[in-house]
Structures are given as structure tokens and as C-alpha cells.
Amino acid sequence: MNTPLSTSIVRRTLLALGAALAVTPAAFAQSPIVIKFSHVVAVDTPKGKAAAFFAKRAAELTKGKVKVEVYPNSQLYKDKEEMEALQLGSVQMLAPSLSKFAPLGVKEFEVFDLPFIFDDYNDLHKITLGPVGQKLLKKLESRGITGLSYWDNGFKVMSANKPLKYVEDYKGTKMRIQSSKVLDAQMRALGALPQVLAFSETYQALQTGVVDGTENPPSNLYTQKMHEVQKHVSVTNHGYLGYAVVVNKKFWDGLPADVRAALNKAMAESTKVANDVAFQDNQNALAAVKATGKTTVYTLSPAERFLLKKATIGVHKQMASRIGTETIQEIYQVTGFDPSKL
């Protein structure tokens, strides 16, 4: 019986079990230490590949003391539930997109959602691989979460069953977004009607017309087969979607020091894997969508992209008090972005 009710009962039971079995130092006396790593995307994505690589390297570098079990594709938990599960200790590791941390009360993470804040991976890495990124990860500690690293996915495209080229095209279009107030404001600035939905529910919502369109990097669009229910993809590169790899703080702090050091090394290597494959995976996904011949892929010209930028840049100011002016300014300073020069 796989009704939504039974699924939710199973999930709740898993949460409760995890909490009851919350890790104590004594638990580490037994080998192997199990790390449940839950995520919502396909195995064949930058996050899926990096998670599998981490599992392999964690086993090798700890000489089998740690076993990482990866649960992809929302198999274990959906977006909101996985955050809850991490805090309760039912899973030990996640890599949610940066857009999904604000509901925990860490609104600064929504800075990554600001439209057009990063021009390319180069600008982005100045933040995710630098001190501003580290400072942001520290803010998770008060929520019982330790941030280990940032993993790339990529720059987003827009999709719908009609061409989305000019701002007027978005008017009244119902667009699925992640749970971010900045993404909500971005879609409203375009005249669209944003709707928050879990990633795992997006394909069906597009198929049944609950929403008309969505935004995501091509790797997510393609591996979830969203292109099968979206006739048009616009390569807008209007915003970034990436991840923070996070662990339950109590679990992490309780690990033997040598194990933690080995896992840190495995994580550094996995970050390199994620960031090395992300660009190519997204290029390949876009090419694969084109190759189906069923979905039109249109790349905005610089002039068309600029119109979209003009229409959405006000979101930076509009959201400053929510995200924190200091965080926004720190990023502008590091990347050299100056919205007043538009």
C-alpha cells in the first residue's frame, strides 16, 4: 500500500526511531559508524555523483570505520522533512540547496537566490570557497547543524509550455519555486505567480497543470524528466542553485577526532568532484534536452538577458532587510558587483 498517508506514516515513524536512537558516544564503539546521507535529486546529477564519491572515499579513508548510506531522489525524505530529520538525528548528513535554509531561520542564505548576483562560477567561488561562505556556514551552528562545504550545481534556466523570452511572457504564469522568499520576490518582479513546492512534487505539478513552469539548472530539469512536460526552455542563467553539505552537529562533534579528520579529507575531495562535474553536467543535460527534439531550447541574447536583469534587480534592495544588508554588501565587495551601474 503506497498511499500518501502510508508514506507519511512511514516517514514519521522513521523520524521518531531516529530520535529514539540518537547517537551517543558509546554508539561509536561499534563499527562501522553509519552516516545516512539523504538527498532529493537523481544519482546522475552533480550532487548525486559527489555524494556517491564521498561515500566511497569515506569508507577508504576511515578504513571501513565509516559506512555512508546515500538515499537519493527523496527516497527517504522530501525537502522539509529532511531538515527536520537532520535536526532530530534520524539522518546525519544532507546537502540541501542554499534556498532551503531560510525556513530554519537562517535567512542570510537567501542571498544566493538574488537574481543576477553572480555572473559565473568564478564570482561564485570567491564566496563559496572563501571567508564569506565560511561565515555563513557558522550561522547554522545555533540550529544544531554544522556546515562542511558548498557543492555546485549551476545557473538556472526557466521553463514552461510557452516561450519565456521577455518579461511580458511571465505575466500570470504559475511558476514552481523552492521555499525562498527571494525567489518569490524574483518571480513577482516578473509578473509571474510563484508557488512553493517540494522538488519531488514538481514533475507531477507541471504535468497536471498545478503550475505552468519552473526554474532549475538543466541537470535537475533533465534528470527529473521535466522537459517531457515543458515545451520551452529559456537559457537565462538568471540565478544560481547550489548546496551546503551539512551534518548533525551533535553527531559530528561526537565522532573520534581521527574519523572526523578523515571525513573532512573525503569532503574536500568530494567538493572538488562536485564542482568539477557541475558545469559539464549542465551542458550535457541541456544538449540532451535539445536532442529530444520535443522541447525548444532558446538562449537569451545578452540584450534580452539584460532586460530580465533590469526587471528583477530591484529584488536586491527589496530583500535587503530580510537577508541582511551586510551580507549582500560583503558579496558585492568580493565580486565587484554594483547594481547602481546597471
Interface residue list for ligand LMR (CB under 6 A)? 40-41, 97, 153, 178, 199, 216, 220
Residue 88 CB, shortest distance to ligand LMR, in Å, is 20
**41 or 328: whose CB is closer to ligand LMR?**
41
Which string of DSSP letters, residue by residue, matches 188-255? Answer: HHTT-EEEE--GGGHHHHHHHTSSSEEEE-HHHHHHTTGGGG-SEEEE---SEEEEEEEEEHHHHHTS
What are 196's strand-pairing partners? 177
Q: Which is nearer to ligand LMR, 201 or 269 (CB)?
A: 201
CB of 223 vs ligand LMR, minimal distance in Å: 10
Q: How far is the CB of 44 from ligand LMR (least distance, A)?
A: 13
74: left (phi over 0), alpha (psi -120 to 50) or beta: left
- β-pair partners for 35: 68
Minimum CB–partner distance for residue 105 and ligand LMR (Å): 19
Shortest spacing between CB 75 and ligand LMR, in angstroms: 13
- CB of 81 vs ligand LMR, minimal distance in Å: 13
- Residue 243 backbone phi and psi in degrees, to 5: -130, 155
What is the DSSP-derived secondary structure letter of residue 30? S
CA-nearest of 162, 255, 159, 260 to 214 is 159
Phi and psi dihedrals of 64, rounded to 5? 80, 0
Instruction: State the Cα–Cα distance between residues 19 and 13, nearest whole angstrom.
Output: 10
Q: Which residue's CB is nearer to ligand LMR, number 92 or number 178? A: 178
CA–CA gap between residue 233 and residue 290 (Å, rounded): 9
Measured CA to CA, the distance from residue 134 to residue 35 in angstroms comes to: 23
Q: Which is nearer to ligand LMR, 74 or 146 (CB)?
A: 74
| Closest among 88, 93, 14 to 255, alpha carbons compared | 93
Q: Which CB atom, from 183 or from 297, has the smaller least distance to ligand LMR?
A: 183
Choice between 41 and 262, CB closer to ligand LMR:
41
Q: How far is the CB of 178 from ligand LMR (least distance, A)?
A: 5
Indicate the residue among 6 and 75 with the shorter CB distance to ligand LMR. Answer: 75
End-to-end CA distance of the chain, in Å? 56
